[in-house]
Amino acid sequence: MKKLIILGLIAPLCLGLAQALDDEHRGSHASITMNSDSPNENCTDQLRVNEAEFRANMRDEETKTIPNQPLTIKGEDNGGIAVSTWDSPEFSLKLCKQVAAADEATARKVLAETHLEINGSQISVQVPKEDDFVLGTLIVVKAPRNATLDLHVQNGGVSLNNFTGTAEAHAQNGGISLRHSSGKLTAKAENGGVSIKDCGGEVTAEVENGGLSIALPEHWDGKGLEAHAQNGGLVISVPKTFNGGLEVAALRETSLICRDDICSAGERSVEGGHKIFRMGGANPQVKASTENGGIIIQERDHHRGEL
């Protein structure tokens, strides 16, 4: 399989990996785009593979239903996972797949051999071993309320949108998006960013070599948020009517910029080599920090494209 050229999660903040790789044999370029925040469940809207030099471009999908149980889901290399909660008591797993190949016969063969592999509680994607095609996959998961998930991607993205439950998301060379979700949520990204918007519960985020973007609700419902970026910047957007506690920290040598009227509600200090911005009391529910990256604190909705 020819390797990915551009892979992304389309959201106001782009979280996926963008990288250029040359195919030694063809010298061509391909793009695979995942739009996991689309309200439309149609695979055509959620996954697109563009490869001008291959004549055949075909898509297919596969859906399976399995009982509620703790699941470990691994995306195919260069593939993504998108999760939401629904009202049914079981899981729905849909594999969106699209391939660009030299001819229709090859494309059909690749699609037929690309499928979900279910081994007890282990979910993965099986793909053919040939190398003369470009393949994009996205696992769309509808989970029962309060489900438990362990999610892994490499060179791809993870999206939790309107999810309620327990989930750990791990991304290497890709990003993670948590939107309108609550429960016990953990996001760990290496060489990719993390975006958190309008969430609640107990949320932990760790980013290595990537940015962190947080848009807070007016009130954090639950234990709280603790987020840290290593070698990446932090943008945090705070509603004017935010009534919770917030603590933002950066190394003394890095910049901490506060914009808009929200700044008057907080206090700045320098403690133990760190710049600190606090608002809402001594025991904040929301803590965010970064090393080797600057911080911007701004009033939410005043800035276009914040998330």
Quick one: DSSP state of residue 2?
P
Which whole number is the average pLDDT over 222-251?
Answer: 94
pLDDT tens digits along 200-221: 999 999 999 999 999 999 999 9
Reported residue count of the chain is 307
Determine the Cα–Cα distance for residues 302 and 229; give it in Å rounded to an integer: 24
pLDDT of residue 18: 31
Determine the Cα–Cα distance for residues 80 and 156; give it in Å rounded to an integer: 5
SS3 of the chain: helix, strand, coil, percent, to 5:
5, 50, 40
pLDDT of residue 33: 77
Q: How confident is the model at residue 234 (pLDDT cuts 50, 70, 90)?
A: very high
| E strand intervals along 220-261 | 224-230, 234-238, 246-251, 256-258
pLDDT tens digits along 43-88: 988 888 888 788 899 999 999 999 999 999 999 988 999 999 999 9
- Which of 70-74, 162-166, 198-202, 265-269 is predicted least confidently? 265-269
Ordered strands of the 212-215 beta sheet: 56-66, 91-101, 133-143, 80-85, 158-161, 176-179, 194-197, 212-215, 234-238, 295-299, 256-258
Which two three-digit tokens encode residue 105? 């016969």
Q: How confident is the model at residue 30 (pLDDT cuts 50, 70, 90)?
A: low
Determine the Cα–Cα distance for residues 143 and 138; give it in Å rounded to an integer: 15
Residues 6+ apart with CB under 8 A from 291: 228, 229, 230, 231, 250, 251, 254
Report the percentage of the chain scoring pLDDT > 90.
Answer: 67
N- to C-terminal Cα separation, the chain: 33
Instruction: Identify the CA nearest to 285 among candidates 213, 227, 211, 206.
Output: 227
